[in-house]
Amino acid sequence: MVKLNRFVILENEGAQEMFDRLLVIVGKIRGLGGQDINDHKVVKIMLEAYSPRNETVVTLIRDKKRFDMFTPSDVLGRILIFDM
């Protein structure tokens, strides 16, 4: 769980790589019985990690209607679209 609490995007890492690395960590935690990590928590972790890279994109995503219903894949897609 400590790895997840300190999750950041790495210097030379793109959004897709960050997403893939995060899902590996989340999968391991869930595999060990950590069921308290739902999709919305993963979304929050993604946006917190990505915000130093582009705070505007994070704000635009958080301001969308039904943000609380976004899946991690939804958020990744929006990050990739905004950062083109």
pLDDT band, very low/low/confident/very high, at 35 (cuts 50, 70, 90):
confident
For residues 52 and 34, what is the distance between their CA atoms, to the nearest angstrom?
A: 27
Q: State the average pLDDT over residues 61-83.
A: 95
pLDDT at residue 1, as a whole number:
57
Q: Are 62 and 47 in contact (CB under 8 A)?
A: yes
**pTM, to two decimals:** 0.89
DSSP-assigned letter for residue 69: G
pLDDT-derived band at 44, boundaries 50, 70, 90: very high
Which is nearest to 55 in space by CA: 79, 32, 39? Answer: 79
Q: Cα 45 from chain centroid? A: 5
φ, ψ of residue 63 to 5 degrees: the values are -85, -5
pLDDT at 61: 96
